[in-house]
Amino acid sequence: MASPLLQVKDLATHFVSARGTRVVRAVNEVSFELDSGETLGIVGESGSGKTTLALSLLRLLPPAARIVSGEILFEGEDLLKKSDVEMRRIRGKRIAMILQDPMASLNPLFTIGDQVAEPIRVHEHAKRANAWSRARDLLKAVRISAPETRVNEYPHQMSGGMRQRIVGAIAISCEPGLLIADEPTTSLDVTIQAQYLRLLRDLQRTHHLAMIFITHNLGIVAKMCDYVAVMYAGRIVELGPVRRIFNAPAHPYTEALLASIPRLTDPSQRLTAIEGQPPDLAAPPPGCAFHPRCPKMIPRCREEDPPGFSEADRHTARCWLQGPQ
Amino acid sequence: MSTNGPLLEARDLTKLFPVKRGLFNKAQDMVRAVDGISFTISPGQTFGLVGESGCGKTTTAKLVLLLEQPTGGDIRFQGQDLQTLDGGGLRDYRRSVQAVFQDPFASLNPRMRVRAIIVEPLVTNEKLDGGEVKRRVQRLLELVGLPDRSADLFPHEFSGGQRQRIAIARALALSPKLVVLDEPVSALDVSIRAQILNLLRDLQAQLGLSYLFIAHDLAAVAHMSHTIAVMYLGKIVETGDAETIAKTPKHPYTQALFSAALPTHPDEQREEIILPGEVPSPLRPPTGCRFHPRCPQVMPRCSAEEPRLLSVDGRLAACHLYDQKS
C-alpha cells in the first residue's frame, strides 16, 4: 500500500517562556493521516491548539514555539528535517494555506494581479506576462467577474467575499497537494459562506486536493469533511470518519459538543451545555484534561491520561471508558 | 397603560443616514439603513431579527435603545409613543430597556471591579444604602450563576462566557422589561454558547423578560425566539412564528438563508440554494423588490413593483410569488 499524502506522527509543539520556566503544551501527541482528495476537519475551541497544529505543519510557528518531537511526512519526506530554504520551496507550492481574515492576508499596496501572480513567479520562475495571464485564469476559476479589469485593482476595492476568493486563487496558484484553511469563512456572511464553501469543494474536486479545515464550527465539518479530529487542550481526543463520529461519538467531549449546538429542525429543545471552562494549558489538570467537565468521569480519569483507543477502522478516542475494562 | 397589548410596537420605523461629501459637507445621498419596518414585541417573549451584515438589524436595535433617533415612524412602549415622553418618561423607558452586546471584552470597563460594574446602573438610577446595594449585587450574581466572590474581581480575571454573565447581570440590575441582545453569543466558544443561551432562557422564564434577539446564526435565533423577522437591505421580507418560518420558509431570501445555514449532521440533506453575487449597496438599493437581482425565482414584475408584506400560510412575506391579486 502506498503511504498517504500526509502522515503526522506523535507531533508535539510547546511554547516556552523566555526563561524556560513556563511550558505550554499547545500540541501534544498528535497523529493523523490524510490522502489526496480527502478532507480532514480539525475542530476545537479557542486555545485547543488547532491553529498551532496547522502552523506546525507549515513550520510557520512564532519564535517562542518549538516542535519538540514527532514527524510530519508529506509526500514521503519528513518536513521537520528540511532546511529553511527547502521549506520555503514547499510553502505556497506544495502546501498552501488560507487564513481567516482576507484583509490581513492581502497586501493593500499591491494590485490583485501582482499578488495572485507572485507565487507563480517565485516558485515557477514564470515571466510577468505569463504569470498575469495565469492570474486572470485563476480569478475566473474562483468566480471573480471581469477578471481582466480586476487584476489591476486593489484589495480595498473588493468585498469581503471577493477578497477571500482571491486568497483562494493565490492558494491554488501553484497546484498544491495540500490546502490548509484556518477558519476560512468566519468573517463572511451566511450566504457568502455558502458560496465560498461550494467553491472550495469544486476546487478540491478539480485539483484532487487534500484539505485540512480548521474550525470551531461543527456545521462546517458536517458539510465539508470526510474525517474529523476533535481537539481538546492540545490533544486530538477523537479522530474518525465524520458520519461515524456524528452518529456515535466515543468521547464524552465530542458527545457534549454535538449536543450543545442549536438545531433548526428541533428549535424548542433545551441545549445541553458543557459546564465549566476549557483548561489553562500552562497548568492543565492531571489525568485526562477533560475530566473536571466530564459527565462520565471515573476515578481513573483523575490520575492517568488515557491513550488513544481504537474504536474501528480509522476511529480512535482518548477516553478510559473506551479502553478494555 | 395596557397590560395585554404588546410591550413594544414599532410602526414604519425608518432611519436614513446622510452621506456627506464635497466642500460644504452637503448631504448628497441617503443610506436607507432601516426602511419602514413594523414589528411588535410581546411581554415575556423573544423577537428575533435575522439578516446578513448591512441589513439594518443593529440599527433597529439602536433605534429601540434610543441610541439613534428615527427619521420616520414611531415606537410605542406599553402603548406610549416615545416621541411624546418627557424627561422623566424617557428616563423610565431607558431603565426598562437594557442591552447586552456581542463582545464582553469591550463592553466591560477593565478598571472597574465587577461589583462597581453591576452597581453602576443602580447607583445612577436609584438611591440605595450600602447594605441594600450589597444584597442586590449578591442576588444578581446568583441569578447569572456566578459565585459571590466575583464581585471583588476585575473583568480580566474572567473568561468570555463569565464576562457575558457579568454583562447580563448589569443589564438586569434595573429589573428591565426588555433586553436587547445584539449577537450575545457570537464571540463565545462553542461549549460556552449553550450555557449562555440556556441562562437567557431561564432568566426569561423566571423574570418574565422580553428579548430583542439579534444574531446571524439562524439556528440560535430559531432556538431562542417566539417570533422572528428576516431583514434584507433595511426591509423585513418575512416575519412570523419562529418555528413556522424555520420549518417552511416562504420568501426566496429566507429559503436561501436557511439552506445556507450549516447542517448539524452530515446526513442532513438540504436543497442547496447558492445565491449569486452579494448584497447590493443600501445607498442605491435595487428598484422594486430589493432582492430581485439575486433572486432565483425572479419575475419581470419584481424589478418594477415593490412587494408588500402579505399573509402567506400563517406568516407575513413580502414576495410577488404569493401575491395572486393581479
pLDDT in tens, A238-283: 999 999 999 999 999 999 999 888 887 776 678 888 888 888 888 8
Question: Which single residue is written with the C-alpha cell 501572480?
Answer: A117
How many CB atoms are located within 10 Å of the residue B27 CB?
12
pLDDT the model gives residue A267: 67
Give which of A80, A84, A33, A37 is closest to A57, Cα–Cα.
A80
Q: Which residues of B touch A246 (CB under 8 A)?
A: 265-267
Span A43-62, average pLDDT = 91
- Which residues are CB-contacts of B189 (< 8 A; sequence separation ≥ 6)? A45, A46, A216, A278, B160, B161
Span B89-118, average pLDDT = 92
CATH number reported for the structural domain that contains residue B83 in this entry: 3.40.50.300
Which of A1-10, A142-151, A229-238, A269-278 reaches the highest mean pLDDT? A229-238
Q: Torsion angle of alpha carbons B144, B145, B151, B153, nearest 10°?
A: -110
Question: Is residue B190 in some structural domain?
Answer: yes
How many CB atoms are located within 10 Å of the residue B312 CB?
18
Q: Determine contact, residues B258/B228, Cβ cutoff 8 Å.
A: no
> Cβ of B261 under 8 Å from any chain A Cβ?
yes
- Are the Cβ atoms of A190 and B219 closer than 8 angstroms? no
pLDDT the model gives residue B3: 53
Pairing, β A315-317 against β A235-241: antiparallel
pLDDT the model gives residue A150: 92
Q: What percent of chain B has pLDDT over 70?
A: 96
Question: Is residue B146 in some structural domain?
Answer: yes
How many CB atoms are located within 10 Å of the residue B193 CB?
24
Interface with A, mutate which of B183, B204, B223, B225 (most A CBs under 10 A): B223
pLDDT the model gives residue A22: 84
pLDDT the model gives residue B186: 85
- pLDDT of B2 over the 60 cut: no
Question: Is residue B218 in some structural domain?
Answer: yes
Over the stretch B264-310, which tens digit does the pLDDT of each residue have?
Answer: 888 887 778 888 888 888 888 899 999 999 999 999 999 999 999 99
- Are the Cβ atoms of B190 and A263 closer than 8 angstroms? no
Q: Determine contact, residues A167/A201, Cβ cutoff 8 Å.
A: no
Burial class (CB in 10 A: 0-12, 13-18, 19+), B23: exposed
pLDDT the model gives residue B218: 85
ipTM of the complex: 0.81
> In angstroms, what CA-CA distances link A277 with A47, A250, A286, B93, B188?
11, 21, 16, 36, 11
Question: Among A212-221, A263-272, B207-216, B305-314, where is mean pLDDT lowest?
Answer: A263-272
> Cβ of B223 under 8 Å from any chain A Cβ?
yes
When the pLDDT of each residue in chain B is averaged and rounded to a whole number, the result is: 90
> In angstroms, what CA-CA distances link A51 with A28, A34, A183, A212, B192?
13, 17, 9, 11, 20
Interface with A, mutate which of B50, B190, B224, B227 (most A CBs under 10 A): B190
- CA–CA distance, A118 with A170 (Å, rounded to integer): 8
Number of domains, chain B: 1
Orientation angle between helical segments A128-141 and A112-124, nearest 10 degrees: 120
pTM assigned to the model: 0.87
Surface of A (167-226) touching B: CB under 8 A = 189-195, 198, 216-220, 222-223
- pLDDT of A80 over the 90 cut: yes
Span B74-103, average pLDDT = 92
Over the stretch B17-72, which tens digit does the pLDDT of each residue have?
Answer: 988 776 666 667 888 899 999 999 999 999 999 988 888 999 999 999 999 999 99
Question: Is residue B264 in some structural domain?
Answer: yes
pLDDT the model gives residue B71: 93
Question: Is residue B219 in some structural domain?
Answer: yes
State which residues form the domain around B217. 8-322
> Cβ of A272 under 8 Å from any chain B Cβ?
yes
pLDDT the model gives residue A322: 87
- pLDDT of B326 over the 70 cut: no
Which of A99-103, A283-287, B37-41, B125-129 reaches the highest mean pLDDT? B37-41
Q: What percent of chain A has pLDDT over 90?
A: 69
Q: Which residues of B touch A218 (CB under 8 A)?
A: 190, 264
When the pLDDT of each residue in chain A is averaged and rounded to a whole number, the result is: 91
Surface of A (124-163) touching B: CB under 8 A = 159, 161-162
pLDDT the model gives residue B27: 66
Surface of B (154-173) touching A: CB under 8 A = 159, 161-162
Give which of B213, B171, B163 is closest to B45, Cα–Cα.
B213
Burial class (CB in 10 A: 0-12, 13-18, 19+), B20: exposed
As given in the structure block, the three cell numbers for residue B125 are 438610577
Question: Is residue B2 in some structural domain?
Answer: no
Give which of B21, B201, B93, B269 is closest to A270, Cα–Cα.
B201
Over the stretch B8-28, which tens digit does the pLDDT of each residue have?
Answer: 999 999 999 988 776 666 667
Pairing, β A65-74 against β A6-16: antiparallel
Q: Which residues of B touch A270 (CB under 8 A)?
A: 198, 201
Domains, chain A, ordered by start: 6-94+174-322 (3.40.50.300)
